[in-house]
Each structure stands twice: as C-alpha cells, then as structure tokens.
C-alpha cells in the first residue's frame, strides 16, 4: 500500500500548494499545482476531480500565454477522458497537444501525445492509425533515451497486435516492455503489461500462464492502490475462469470489477464487465440474465463508439438467441458482428462470428452453409494458434457433418476437438466424449483424416 499512500500524500501536498499560490496570487505556480493535483487524482481513480484540476490548470496556462503548460494540461486531460471512454474529447485533447508540442519543438511531449493518441485509436478499432502513432512515438523515445516511455510504447503495441490476432508479436512487445519496467522499478507499468500478457495467453488457451499474469498484476495493483487497475485484472482473471468452467469464481471476479468500474465511472470497463457476465450466464443456461447483461453492454459500447466491443457483444447475444431458438435474431447478430470484425481486421473475432453463424445454420438445416462457416472459422483459428476456438470449430463442424450422415468425418473432428479440450482442461470434454460414445455405440469408427 506504499504507493497508495504516496498518491494520497501527493494530493494533500498539491492541495496545499494550490491554496498557497492562490493566497499569494502566483498564478503560474497555481496552474502547475492544479495540473499536478489532477495527475494524483487520476492515479487514485478520482476522475471527476482530475478533470476539474486539469481544466482549471488549462485555463490558467492559457491566460498566462504558457503554451508549454497548456500542452501538458491538454495531454493530461485527454488521458483522463480516455480512461472514461470519452473518446472524441480524448482525441481532440491529444491532437491539440501534439500540434503545440511540435510547434514548441518538444520531442518528448510529441512522443507522449502520439502514444496517448494511439491508445484512443486502439480502443476505437482504428488499428493502422494506432500502430503508426505508437511506432512514431517509440522511434522518438528511443532517440531520446527515454526507456520508461519506450516500455509504455512496447506495451501499447502489444495491445494492438493482440487485437489483430498477431499473438507472437503481441507477446514479444509485452515481454520486452515487461523487462524494461522491471529494470526501471515501474510497478504500475509492470502490472499493466502483465495484464496484457495474460490476455494474449488467454486467447491462446495458455490458461495457467494467463492466471499467473492476472493474479500477479492484481497483487501489484492492490499494493499500488490502483482500483481501476484492480478492476481490469479481476475482469481478465474472470475470463480465464469462464473458459475453464469455474463459473462461481468467474462471476465473483466480474461482479467485483463491475462494482469498481461503476464507482470510478469507467464506462468502457463497465461495458466489458457486463458482457463478461453475459458470457458466464449463457454458459449456466440463465438466458434472460445473459441477454440483459449483453444488451446493457451493447448500449454502452455503441455510445462509446467502440466497434470492437460492439462486435464482441453482438456475437455473445447471437449465441444466447441461438440457444433459445430465436434464429433470425441470432443470424442478424452474428452477421452484424462479422461485418464489423472484417472491417476492423479482427481475424480472431471473424472466426468466432463465422462459427456462431455456422451453428445457427446447422440448427435450421442449412448444412452446406454451416459446414462452410465452420471450415472457414477452423482455418482462421489454426492460422492464429487459437486452440480453444479450434476445438469449438471442430466440435461444431462435427455436428454439421453428422447431420448430413458423414459420420466417419464427424467422429474424426470430434476426436480432434477432444484431444485439444483435454489438453486445455476445458469443460467441453464431457459433451464431446458423449458425442463420440453415441457414435461408437452405432459401430462407427471415427475418421482421423
């Protein structure tokens, strides 16, 4: 809790400086102290107060004609807006600060603005722009010898490549960033990077590593007093538990993260906790709750302009509608999510949308379309190294093949799926074994080809 106390002490110290500067009418000192106070509030997750401080500082710097101070207030304000999912405001702040820093010839400030702008573009699914910003920022920071800034850029690139399904690159960037953060003793950056690594490992079905990363990041963030960070670590941990069928633990993590996000007014984090709960309740067969959580999350993502989150939620809704036999709605959700994911270049998301669509087509007796969707999703999952998704596609492809009487091939696909699920220790093992047992009872030998 040392750093938590440090942030609190920082608030108190800067409040004292602000008051003293007001009494002595030292407006330059007051402006700087307001901006510093906003930084400490942001670290504590007290975002309304952070915004108020940065706005007060910005007004003072402008009145003083201090363009350097103005640029720093804008970049700080933009970061808080990003935290809250207020993306248009964040972009405006970072673009304005970027212009000012370039006019002032401040390369450090330019790199900082570029990195923060890249974070907003990443959230909005504008990945080429995000990569361009982070790469440009990384180049400048390496030229300046700013190792901490370099670490944050590496981590940021890891998040973008994770979204694009380029997992080896994502892991490499996160690991390089992690090494730097540990060398520098930056515990905040270390926790952030561990959470990013945990997400990639989760994507790849490397669940023990994912749990370790998320638990380590949660421990560090608890020590730092970073409540917003704790919420993200809890949500990441809950996703792993969901995959492993540890549903009570998953619900506990997601509910705790949801409570924190709402207390902090982090609408982006709130949306992800909502859809994560929807995924768990779908698995438990509690469909009304699953729909409610997904719909609430969808509203938030659309308000925030987060198309990645929107597509993710539509896919989750499509699964619930399929379970309930509401096939027209399921098809609409999966097709909409597929369209968005293709526009974003989200190949992993595309694979999940295709597989979901295939399941609905199989239910409707549209077997050729079902088989085509599952085969396409299987190809993508294998290219991406997503073993969990590969197992899902194999299982569902087997179902469609069985429906058209291609029992030997169906058994082969189920056997492949079973091998993967046993290795991953996921709860689908029993249902796939039941399929194979039924097939074998009919004297059908699975085809391994």
CATH number at residue 445: 1.25.40.10
In a domain, 351, yes or no: yes
Residue 1 has pLDDT above 90, yes or no: no
> How many domains in the chain?
1
Q: What was the pLDDT predicted at 90? A: 95
Q: What was the pLDDT predicted at 422? A: 94
In a domain, 2, yes or no: no
Q: Which residues of 172-206 are buried (b: 16+ CB within 10 A; e: fewer)?
A: ebbbbbbebbeeeebbbbbbbbbbbbbbbbbbbbb
| Range of lowest pLDDT (50-59, 271-280, 400-409, 438-447) | 438-447
Calculate mean pLDDT across residues 387-415: 95
Residue 159 has pLDDT above 80, yes or no: yes
Range of the domain at 412: 306-449
Q: The tokens of 15 are what?
A: 């409040």
Q: The tokens of 326 are what?
A: 């509401």
Closest CA to 45 of 182, 158, 188: 188
List, for residues 48-70, the tens digit of each pLDDT value.
999 999 999 999 999 999 999 99
Closest CA to 394 of 340, 361, 338, 435: 435
**Contact between 242 and 279 (Cβ < 8 Å):** yes
Q: The tokens of 240 are what?
A: 């792993």
pLDDT band at 265 (very low <50, low <70, confident <90, very high): confident
Q: What was the pLDDT predicted at 237? A: 98
In a domain, 383, yes or no: yes
In a domain, 340, yes or no: yes
Closest CA to 389 of 358, 435, 345: 358
Closest CA to 422 of 204, 201, 202, 205: 205
**Cα–Cα dist 192/170, whole Å:** 14
In a domain, 89, yes or no: no
Residue 447 has pLDDT above 70, yes or no: no
Structure pTM?
0.84
Residue 45 has pLDDT above 80, yes or no: no
Q: What was the pLDDT predicted at 2? A: 47
3-state secondary structure (DSSP) of residue 364: coil
Calculate mean pLDDT across residues 124-128: 88
In a domain, 221, yes or no: no
**Cα–Cα dist 239/325, whole Å:** 26
pLDDT band at 164 (very low <50, low <70, confident <90, very high): confident
pLDDT band at 449 (very low <50, low <70, confident <90, very high): low
% of residues, the chain, pLDDT over 90: 81
In a domain, 138, yes or no: no
**Cα–Cα dist 101/111, whole Å:** 9
List, for residues 320-362, the tens digit of each pLDDT value.
999 999 999 999 999 999 999 999 888 999 999 999 999 999 9
In a domain, 339, yes or no: yes
**Cα–Cα dist 310/157, whole Å:** 22
Closest CA to 227 of 75, 41, 79: 41
Calculate mean pLDDT across residues 398-412: 96
% of residues, the chain, pLDDT over 70: 98
**Cα–Cα dist 380/167, whole Å:** 13
Residues 6+ apart with CB under 8 A from 392: 355, 381, 417, 428
DSSP letter for 86, please. Answer: -
Q: How many helices (H) and strands (E) does the chain have?
A: 22, 0
**Contact between 396 and 367 (Cβ < 8 Å):** no
């Amino acid at each position: 809790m040392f750093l938590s106390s440090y942030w609190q002490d920082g608030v108190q110290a800067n409040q004292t400086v602000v008051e003293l500067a007001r009494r002595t009418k030292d407006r330059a000192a007051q402006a700087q102290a307001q901006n510093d106070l906003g930084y400490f509030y942001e670290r504590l997750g007290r975002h309304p107060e952070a915004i108020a401080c940065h706005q007060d500082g910005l007004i003072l710097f402008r009145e003083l004609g201090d363009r350097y101070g103005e640029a720093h207030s804008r970049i700080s304000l933009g970061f808080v807006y990003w935290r809250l999912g207020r993306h248009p405001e964040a972009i405006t702040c970072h673009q304005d600060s970027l212009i000012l820093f370039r006019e002032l010839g401040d390369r450090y400030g330019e790199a900082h603005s570029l990195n923060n702008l890249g974070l907003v573009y990443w959230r909005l699914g504008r990945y080429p722009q995000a990569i361009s910003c982070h790469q440009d920022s990384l180049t400048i920071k390496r030229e300046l010898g700013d190792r901490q800034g370099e670490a944050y850029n590496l981590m940021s690139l890891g998040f973008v490549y994770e979204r694009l399904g380029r997992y080896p690159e994502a892991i490499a960037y996160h690991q390089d960033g992690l090494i730097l953060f540990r060398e520098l003793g930056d515990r905040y950056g270390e926790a952030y990077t561990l959470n990013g690594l945990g997400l990639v490992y989760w994507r790849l079905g490397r669940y023990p590593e994912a749990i370790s990363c998320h638990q380590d990041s949660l421990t560090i963030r608890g020590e730092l007093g970073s409540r917003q960070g704790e919420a993200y670590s809890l949500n990441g941990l809950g996703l792993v538990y969901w995959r492993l069928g540890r549903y009570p633990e998953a619900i506990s993590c997601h509910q705790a993260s949801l409570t924190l996000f709402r207390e902090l007014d982090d609408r982006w984090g709130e949306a992800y906790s909502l859809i994560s709960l929807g995924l768990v309740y779908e698995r438990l067969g509690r469909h009304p709750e699953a729909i409610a959580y997904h719909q609430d999350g969808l509203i938030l993502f659309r308000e925030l302009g987060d198309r990645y989150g929107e597509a993710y939620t539509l896919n989750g809704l499509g699964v619930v509608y399929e379970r309930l036999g509401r096939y027209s709605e399921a098809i609409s959700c999966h097709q909409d999510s597929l369209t968005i994911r293709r526009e974003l270049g989200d190949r992993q998301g595309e694979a999940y949308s295709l597989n979901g669509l295939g399941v609905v087509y199989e239910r409707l007796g549209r077997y050729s379309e079902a088989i085509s969707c599952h085969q396409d999703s299987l190809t993508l999952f294998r290219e991406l190294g997503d073993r969990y998704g590969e197992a899902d596609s194999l299982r569902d492809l087997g179902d469609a093949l069985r429906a058209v009487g291609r029992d030997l091939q169906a058994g082969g696909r189920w056997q492949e799926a079973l091998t993967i699920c046993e290795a991953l220790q996921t709860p689908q093992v029993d249902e796939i074994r039941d399929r194979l047992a039924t097939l074998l009872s009919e004297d059908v030998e699975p085809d391994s080809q």
